Amino acid sequence: MTTTSTTTPQVFDNYLNHTKGIRSWLFTLDHKRIGVMYLICVLSAFLLAGIFAMMIRFQLLTPEGTFMTQDQYNQAFTVHGAIMVFLVIIPAVPAALGNFVLPIMLGAKDVAFPKLNLFSWWLWVFGLIFFLIALGVGGIDTGWTFYTPYSIDKASSMGGVIPALIGTFILGFSSIFTGMNFIVTIHRLRPKGMTWFRMPLFLWATYATAIIQVLATPVIGITLLLLVIERTVGIGIFDPAMGGDPVLYQHFFWFYSHPAVYIMILPAMGVVSELIAVHSHRHIFGYKFIAYSSIAIAMFGFLVWGHHMFTSGQSPLMNVIFSIITFSVSIPSAVKIFNWLATLYKGSISLNTPMIYGLSFIFIFSIGGLTGLHLATLATDVHLHDSYFVVAHFHYVMMGSALIGFLGGIHHWWPKMIGKMYNENWGRISAILVFIGFNVAFFSQFMMGSKGMPRRYATYTEMPEFQIYHIWSTAGSTILALGFVICAVYLLHSVFKGKRAPANPWGGRSLEWQCSSPPPWDNFAEQPEVGDCYDFSVLEWNETEQGYDWRKDVAHPGE
């Protein structure tokens, strides 16, 4: 053991106070500081996108629309979608939590390429700047998918398309560099004794995600570059008016963007594997199945992009092939769910904040995943396509699952990151509000979508029967927003006024719980010994420290 809670002094040298000044943060090579900077940036972007989400919801309170013109509404949902996808959900777990936790879980001092890691963060910042420029020079109204030929038509679409495309291109590089760094780190910096099947499941999920990031992201980069060339130079690639093929654009776009859904959800699943095991104090059930299912999801994820294009004019043969393969993705997803449930069975469950998020994830992802099967079925997809059913489905997966996993991860590792405990009661209240608010907001969208309410309409004067669902959805969004505000308040409060966190507040066994909270600058003075990271029987509650310690009658691994 490197550092134990019993020997931790009140103020000690850690990564937060090791060096001082803004430059020591902005140009740091320390993975933990880069992780924290990502976290701050991602949460700021989340706030911005959330404001646009609330604008959308309040616009739709009445069939005539409340305060936005149709053009403004188009901008609002485009900016909301683009920021949420490219700036928030994709980097949320891998870049923010992954950067902080991954090297410590490996017992390493840093990632394999610390400078590349910092460069990734700076690329994220430049990507954000280009998005802000896009808003300043006329906005974007193409939807986050930048579908052609609309996005190429300068006369119709707004002037911010090119800066937004460049911003997305840059963000793609940020994502590729992070993925590359994690692959090399996991391959090369695993400590002695940590074989592939002794790694925490979060690392398996991060590894599978990194493969997708490295393999799929270059395709979106090239696609968006072609779009910029087509829009500026006028070469016919995707625009049928110039001899191009708009369906080909959709192939290119979804070849990245469907695997991107797994870039969002896989690391969140990794977080949930940790949450469920640690907070039920029970050995994870079916370790190898969960590990392999991450890789299977990553692989299958590459073969199903065409299910986004069932109504695009894609050939009937391809529709059938993509439909069948899409069904197969549900198998590894279900493997995870069943294993989590089996882990909970007869576990000693602590219903604290991270666990509530973990359980929320299982509930919400089950609904999100199962409704995906409706959309994978050709006969039903034709009717549900471009309706609120689709909006609800992808929010259940991308927001309700990926972001809830992210929030669960933040709460799980917050004491480790900041060295302070947050108020557990407020944490629980907030998590329950988020769960209730989310389901009220988006289950009503399933209902109106299945009844025929189309997506992306600023007004629905001809369909007033849908108003009641929009009212419910807006009410749910407001509860959800309240949950987030409460969460922000108690987390910020904990930074300044929180109780000191012990090294191991939840009873985790992976290596990050063996160093102090917050971790020292170099994480570990000497390489820690690796044991079974899900064997919790060797830990016991220490009342004085208010955390878990190694049982005195049990030898440490390697002793």
Partner 1 sequence: MPHTDSTHHDDQIGHIVPVKFLVLICALLLFLTAVTVWVSRYDFTEINIAEMGIITALFVATVKATIVGLYFMHLRWDRPFIGFIFVGSILFVVLFICIALTDSLAYQPTIIKGDTPKVTEAMDLLKH
Judged by CB, which is closer to partner 1: 60, or 118?
118
Q: Which stretch binds partner 1 (CB under 8 A): 239-247, 287-295, 434-442, 533-541?
A: 239-247
Outline where DSSP puts E strands in 268-378: none
Q: Is 93 left (phi over 0), alpha (psi -120 to 50) or beta?
A: alpha
- In the complex, the smallest distance separating the C-beta of residue 219 from partner 1, rounded to whole angstroms, is 7
Structure-block tokens of residue 389 = 């059913």
Q: Using the rule CB under 8 A, which residue among 22, 317, 379, 555 binds partner 1?
A: 317
Q: Using the rule CB under 8 A, which residue among 54, 180, 189, 235 binds partner 1?
A: 189
Q: Using the rule CB under 8 A, which residue among 26, 44, 51, 188 binds partner 1?
A: 188
* Cα–Cα distance for residue pair 137/120, rounded to 1 Å: 26
529 binds partner 1 (CB under 8 A): no
- In the complex, the smallest distance separating the C-beta of residue 228 from partner 1, rounded to whole angstroms, is 20
- In the complex, the smallest distance separating the C-beta of residue 139 from partner 1, rounded to whole angstroms, is 19
* Cα–Cα distance for residue pair 279/320, rounded to 1 Å: 42
- In the complex, the smallest distance separating the C-beta of residue 548 from partner 1, rounded to whole angstroms, is 25
Coil vs helix vs strand at 188: helix
Judged by CB, which is closer to partner 1: 159, or 240?
240
Judged by CB, which is closer to partner 1: 195, or 544?
195
Among residue numbers 198 through 217, which ones bind partner 1 (CB under 8 A)? 215
State the sign of the Cα–Cα–Cα–Cα dihedral 452, 454, 460, 466: positive
Kindly write out the interface string for residues 32-71 of this chain, putting x where it contacts partner 1 by CB under 8 A and - elsewhere.
----------------------------------------
Burial of 551 (0-12, 13-18, 19+ CB in 10 A): exposed
247 binds partner 1 (CB under 8 A): yes
CB atoms closer than 10 angstroms to residue 17: 12
Distances (CA, A) of 156 to 71, 447, 534: 11, 33, 56
Distances (CA, A) of 525 to 149, 212, 528: 57, 34, 9
Q: Is 314 left (phi over 0), alpha (psi -120 to 50) or beta?
A: beta
Judged by CB, which is closer to partner 1: 98, or 107?
107
- In the complex, the smallest distance separating the C-beta of residue 259 from partner 1, rounded to whole angstroms, is 11
* Cα–Cα distance for residue pair 291/299, rounded to 1 Å: 13
Among residue numbers 141 through 170, which ones bind partner 1 (CB under 8 A)? 153, 155-156
Q: Using the rule CB under 8 A, which residue among 18, 109, 281, 428 binds partner 1?
A: 109
255 binds partner 1 (CB under 8 A): yes
Judged by CB, which is closer to partner 1: 133, or 214?
214
Q: Which stretch binds partner 1 (CB under 8 A): 6-14, 130-138, 286-294, 311-319?
A: 311-319
* Cα–Cα distance for residue pair 198/194, rounded to 1 Å: 5
Phi, psi of 515, deg, nearest 5: -105, 170
Distances (CA, A) of 500 to 7, 97, 104, 422: 14, 21, 20, 10
Judged by CB, which is closer to partner 1: 54, or 303?
303
Q: Using the rule CB under 8 A, which residue among 14, 311, 314, 546 binds partner 1?
A: 314
Q: Using the rule CB under 8 A, which residue among 380, 527, 542, 546 binds partner 1?
A: 527
Q: Using the rule CB under 8 A, which residue among 195, 243, 462, 555 binds partner 1?
A: 243
Among residue numbers 360 through 399, which ones bind partner 1 (CB under 8 A)? none
* Cα–Cα distance for residue pair 3/554, rounded to 1 Å: 17
Kindly write out the interface string for residues 495-524 of this chain, putting x where it contacts partner 1 by CB under 8 A and - elsewhere.
---------------------------x-x
- Please, what is the Cα angle at 47 between 406 and 33, to 5 degrees? 55
* Cα–Cα distance for residue pair 166/29, rounded to 1 Å: 26
State the sign of the Cα–Cα–Cα–Cα dihedral 293, 294, 297, 302: negative
How many residues in total does the chain contain?
559
Judged by CB, which is closer to partner 1: 256, or 340?
256
Total of chain residues touching partner 1, rule CB under 8 A:
39
- Look at the block and give the residue holding tokens 């291109």: 169
Interface with partner 1 by CB under 8 A: which residues?
Answer: 107-110, 112, 153, 155-156, 188-191, 215, 219, 236, 239-245, 247-248, 251-252, 255, 302, 306, 313-318, 522, 524, 526-527
